[in-house]
A and B are shown apart, each in its own frame.
Chain A
């Protein structure tokens, strides 16, 4: 079923919207949640919550990209779960991803005011726009979809070590870009 047909089901409050969403995007959502949380039960719970959130937000929201809309909800749900259960130290995927993102945190600059997440997204968008397509895709697959480095290496047909170096260079580039813009986290 086409995305706009599924969205119409949400608008007419037809519960088959949830079934159709699960049919088309269930695997996609589960993949993202698993990449982040690494625990199947938690990931499945997140995916179910995602359907409910979608049901509550549509209407009034009419997403332009249904895939991105759902993916964003899964990500948010996953980080909430991670934060809630952080003490249990079960979430390898997220731990690794967050420790890698430390490389992108800019050094303290002159401007002492902390940037809002929304504003920060704009900077990241600008930075992504300037990257080569392949680098941008790699960055988004790693830090938005949460795909593992070794999987990305396999897709690019390079070694995991080479991919690790590639990702490190990308993170340093982002850090330099944010510092240049005077961003303080």
Chain B
């Protein structure tokens, strides 16, 4: 339906227009009778003023100039240019690429949280993947020639988790943050897909699995890891356990239904009771995170936008190494 398409497009109008409409106060209209009497009063005042000026000879004074007042016109309100939408913690904007959303950042803490050791420079650029353009929401692919370029990240092998963006002379990292730019509840990644993004396709590609208390998916953990597993046999078993969860992948809604059916009294919302975060470090040094709801037995990835139910095999591994 064409009108529905218009409705959808109107949904995405600029935030400043939405705020403006909410806060705007319409001017009070003057009632016609007041206008009539007001006009008469104004005319009377003008007549009196004119007469008094004429009598004082003010008009006779030569060289009288207009005050040059232009009616107080004000230029158009400055609107931020696309991509200028700076927010905290070094996050500049986002990149929508290849069906996924990436946080664009050159902040040291963000880079370190993803396992990228230093600032992004031209040396980090792998093969060029084409040009980007700025949009209201951030960066997007374009076939036009622009001064913004997307590169593979050269120092570490990563399928799609990290990119380098050059905007003019600025170099930034595009860090995988979400599987879909526009949220579709039922579109989410199986757990192997999440690992593949970071270049993990077999157990040897993992160099460490750490346990932190609390929720850390979007920040660099500041506390030392409670557990740090680096033994090869344990990592092999971990990857095996991860693969055993391949079919235990659910959307938020599906997970809610499962929890409701299992314990309808206890559960009224879909929120996770995250007690710990599991950090996976790849052989190339990249890091990504899984939240762990120990009580109800779920893992969650913000990036993959998916909930994974812990299998018996994974529970055994967690009991052995993280408890």
- State the A residues within 8 Å of B (CB): 11-13, 15, 18, 52-53, 55-57, 59-62, 64-65, 67-69, 71-72, 75-76, 79, 83, 97-99, 101-102, 104-105, 117-118, 120-122, 124-125, 128-129, 133-134, 136-137, 140-141, 143-145, 155-158, 185
Given A120-B6, A136-B21; A59-B15 close (CB under 8 Å): no
Which of B166-174, B190-198, B270-278 is the contact stretch? B270-278
B19 touches A65 (CB 8 A): yes
Q: CB-CB < 8 A to A155: which residues of B? A: 26
B3, B14, B29, B270: which contacts A101 (Cβ < 8 A)? B3
Q: CB-CB < 8 A to A122: which residues of B? A: 136
B21 touches A137 (CB 8 A): yes
| B20 located at the interface, meaning its Cβ lies under 8 Å from any Cβ of chain A in the complex | yes
A27 CA / B76 CA spacing, docked (Å): 32
A99 CA / B5 CA spacing, docked (Å): 12
B13, B103, B272: which contacts A13 (Cβ < 8 A)? B272
Given A18-B269, A60-B103, A141-B21; A101-B87 close (CB under 8 Å): no
| B12 located at the interface, meaning its Cβ lies under 8 Å from any Cβ of chain A in the complex | yes
* Interface flags, B42-77, vs A, CB<8A=1, else 0: 000000000000000000000000000000000010
B9 touches A117 (CB 8 A): yes
A137 CA / B87 CA spacing, docked (Å): 27
Q: How far is the CB of B40 from chain A (nearest CB, A)?
A: 23
Q: CB-CB < 8 A to B305: which residues of A? A: 56
A65 CA / B16 CA spacing, docked (Å): 8
Known: A98-B3, A120-B5, A185-B5. 17 other contacts (CB 8 A): A57-B183, A59-B218, A65-B19, A101-B6, A102-B2, A105-B2, A105-B3, A118-B12, A121-B10, A122-B136, A125-B136, A128-B14, A134-B24, A134-B27, A137-B21, A185-B2, A185-B6
A64 touches B103 (CB 8 A): no
A98 touches B28 (CB 8 A): no
| B178 located at the interface, meaning its Cβ lies under 8 Å from any Cβ of chain A in the complex | yes
Residue of A55, A59, A99, A141 contacting most chain B CB atoms (<10 Å) = A59
Q: CB-CB < 8 A to A104: which residues of B? A: 3, 6
B10 touches A143 (CB 8 A): yes
7 closest cross-chain pairs (CB), A and B? A140-B21, A120-B9, A68-B15, A101-B3, A121-B12, A65-B15, A185-B2
Name the residue of chain A whose CB is nearest to the CB of B31: A157
Interface extent on B, as a size class?
35 or more
Q: How far is the CB of A163 from chain B (nearest CB, A)?
A: 11
Q: CB-CB < 8 A to A56: which residues of B? A: 183, 252, 305
Q: CB-CB < 8 A to B178: which residues of A? A: 60-61
A140 touches B13 (CB 8 A): yes
Name the residue of chain B whose CB is nearest to the CB of A69: B15
Q: CB-CB < 8 A to B7: which residues of A? A: 79, 97-98, 101, 143
Restricting to B296-320, which residues have a CB under 8 Å from any CB of A? 302-303, 305
9 examples of A-B residue contacts, CB within 8 angstroms? A13-B291, A59-B217, A60-B178, A72-B12, A124-B9, A125-B136, A134-B27, A137-B26, A143-B7
A117 touches B8 (CB 8 A): yes
Q: CB-CB < 8 A to B91: which residues of A? A: 62
Q: How far is the CB of A8 from chain B (nearest CB, A)?
A: 10
A137 CA / B21 CA spacing, docked (Å): 5
Residue of B10, B14, B19, B183 contacting most chain A CB atoms (<10 Å) = B10
A98 touches B10 (CB 8 A): no
| B233 located at the interface, meaning its Cβ lies under 8 Å from any Cβ of chain A in the complex | no
Q: How far is the CB of A44 from chain B (nearest CB, A)?
A: 15
A60 touches B302 (CB 8 A): yes
Given A105-B6, A185-B6; A98-B17 close (CB under 8 Å): no
A101 CA / B6 CA spacing, docked (Å): 7
A67 CA / B178 CA spacing, docked (Å): 22
A55 CA / B253 CA spacing, docked (Å): 13
Q: CB-CB < 8 A to B215: which residues of A? A: 12-13
A15, A57, A117: which contacts B271 (Cβ < 8 A)? A15
Q: CB-CB < 8 A to B303: which residues of A? A: 60
Name the residue of chain B whose CB is nearest to the CB of A72: B11
B9 touches A13 (CB 8 A): no
A124 CA / B18 CA spacing, docked (Å): 13
Restricting to B279-294, which residues have a CB under 8 Å from any CB of A? 291
